[in-house]
Amino acid sequence: MAHTKNTFEEKSLGKAQDIRLLRQMAPYVKPYWFILSITVLLMIAVTVLELLIPYITKVAIDRYIIPQETGLNGARISHGRGLDVDMSDPDIKKLINARPDIFQAHDNSDRISYDDLKKLPRQDLAIIRNKDMQGVMVMAGYLLLLVAASFCLNFILVVILEYAGQMIMHDLRLTLFTHIQGLSIRFFTQNPVGRLVTRVTNDTQNMQEMFNSVIIFVLKDLFLVFGIIFLLFYIDWRMALAVHLIFPFVFYASYKFSGSSRESYRTLRVKAAQMNSRFAETIGGIQVLQLFGQQDYNFNIFKRINRENYEAGMQQITIFAVFMPFIELMSSVAVAIVIFYGGWSFIAHKITLGAIVAFISYLRLFFRPIRDIAEKYNITLNALSSSERIMQILNDRNMVPEPEEKNRMAVPERIEEFRFNEVTFSYVPDEIVLDRISFALSAGETIAIVGPTGAGKTSIINLITRFYDPDSGSILINGINIKSLLSRDLRSKMALVTQDPFLFSGTIRSNIFNTKRHMPSQEVDRILESSFCKTFVDKLPEGLDAVLTEGGATLSSGQRQLISIARALAANPELIIFDEATSYIDSETEEKIQNALFNLTKGRAAIIIAHRLSTARVADKIIVLRHGKIIEAGSHAALMKQKGFYFQLNQLQG
């Protein structure tokens, strides 16, 4: 087959593409909108609780630890940094009378300076500040309640969000797996196994991380940022403006960081897929690699891909290593501004100590979501790169089209005739593989197709099974074009025994009777005997329940071929397609396969791709292909009498 263009060549992905990708994910999120709505409400509640904690600290400082009267801008400030005491308390009044030298009358209360407080014994301080200590205890209680509530809500939020993320990815994996199973064979010839495995495993895992770590928590971080900005202006708008002088630098750095990170993450995803593909090919072809001594060559290819993956990773880490320290620097600059401006304002009695402490706490809290958003942006980039590739598969319509319901025909109960009518086919445009092929096959008849390598024999199989559709002409069953039949209904009437049959990991029973799990034991024995499997199956300790590795590597080539014939017998098809490959099988096993094939084709229409012409001799009709055209057709005896190309092939094989 001619080389075909890779399906997954990288394309530029801009913001509009990002939005489109997220929009394509909407159907998978929609079933869980109610759960996600709950997580949004929980996120808002958790954010509010986090915003309240520094404010309670401010209230505790300004109202109870260093209580002050209301002054400029609503701030509680003092004249001379003193403490007002409650004259209505008998114990305090008694203390004032005992120490009139340190208490000064002020409006409706007495005041003691903070310096004079140091002169009082501990028991007197306890009397004076009894209500303040009670207030501090109340504030500490509130703080603990807020922390406990935040912990509980965060726990519930994470659990619910994890559930939603897992279910969304569960549905996405099933959709992706189902879609891949429905794609045409052409798709799989264009894409290596490792790449597709990466899509179903690694890329969906990256998507799950985005749902769990990004979607809701980015909203939380944004809500937290805007909430902090509001509270900073509410506490003191002048100091808030001073701090906001550095924010443009922060936002600009975030913008540059996001732009630089994108390409490195996309490169990382590409290289990860390439490494998986190379590794899968290495495992699959390890015998060939070792036999021809190609380990060093293969290693150098993998080394180059691995190096490119390393360089892309280092580029991403370098960008991150510059951005995060810069954010830390801006955080320290913001705190320095608060200390300078806030300290000056506190000395000038324009702001309270609690306000300064709250400002510092809020700034520390402010830069945390900035860092989180940057980190989550990395996850988002990774997920979007993965989403891009997942959607490339889901958007791929490289599949044999099914007929519309209005044009759909029911598959005939019995195949009376199978006909190729002027069929032309090519894998790649302008490279014709089959050229105006016409032949007919009746029920109970066997046709053998022979010809040199590349003549188009396997392509006929691909068209019969509708792995591909012809470019022109038609393929008919009882006069019905197979394009008007559902592929699964068409294939239910057929069985294909390939050159190198594939066996799935599992038991021999599951490989033969996968669709006929409840077949009577007498029928099972008949199929095993007809396919000549019973002898070697009975020798296995577990019999039919013997476990096979993937591909049936523990069995010989002949045994795998016999199992595939048994699988075809169990399906009880009306059309048998046998792609013979017995050139590397011993004579005894070949005889068993020939006898099993005879049992398989008895009473059924059969097409045999004959590599050994001895197999073709038993056919009712032989079709000779060359360069994609039928050059001869007839029985073995008739073709031998013609002394044409078929005769020459026989002479070559002796």
Domain boundaries, the chain: 15-62+133-394, 446-456+488-653
Domain at 446-456+488-653, CATH homologous superfamily? P-loop containing nucleotide triphosphate hydrolases (3.40.50.300)
- Cite the DSSP H helix spans in 338-452: 343-347, 353-394
pLDDT digits (tens, 9 = 90+) for 494-513: 888 887 787 887 888 888 88
Task: Determine contact, residues 443/574, Cβ cutoff 8 Å.
Answer: yes
Residue 169 and residue 188: Cα distance in Å, rounded? 24
Higher pLDDT, 524 or 191: 524
Q: What is the pLDDT of residue 15?
A: 45
> Among 67-76, 108-117, 496-505, whose mean pLDDT is lowest?
67-76
Maximum alpha-carbon separation in the chain: 140
Higher pLDDT, 347 or 637: 637
Residue 409 has pLDDT above 60, yes or no: yes
Its CATH class, for the domain covering 15-62+133-394, is mainly alpha
Q: What is the pLDDT of residue 260?
A: 65
625-to-126, 142, 422, 582, 609 alpha-carbon distances in Å: 109, 88, 14, 20, 11
Residue 640 has pLDDT above 50, yes or no: yes
Half-sphere CA count of 419, side-chain side, radius 13 A: 12
Higher pLDDT, 3 or 391: 391
Q: What is the pLDDT of residue 323?
A: 77
% of the chain surpassing 70 pLDDT: 80
Q: What is the pLDDT of residue 554?
A: 76
Q: What is the pLDDT of residue 1?
A: 42
Q: What is the pLDDT of residue 215?
A: 66
pLDDT digits (tens, 9 = 90+) for 375-407: 676 677 677 777 777 887 888 777 777 888 888
pLDDT digits (tens, 9 = 90+) for 432-490: 999 999 999 998 899 999 988 888 888 998 899 888 889 999 999 998 999 998 888 88
**Mean pLDDT score, 518-547:** 86
Statement: the pTM of the whole predicted model exceeds 0.75: no
Task: Determine contact, residues 243/337, Cβ cutoff 8 Å.
Answer: yes
pLDDT digits (tens, 9 = 90+) for 589-634: 677 777 777 777 777 888 988 877 777 887 889 999 998 999 999 9
Residue 4 has pLDDT above 50, yes or no: no
Residue 111 confidence class, pLDDT cut points 50, 70, 90? low
Residue 113 and residue 115: Cα distance in Å, rounded? 5
Q: What is the pLDDT of residue 5?
A: 44
Residue 266 and residue 259: Cα distance in Å, rounded? 12
One fold for 15-62+133-394 and 446-456+488-653: no
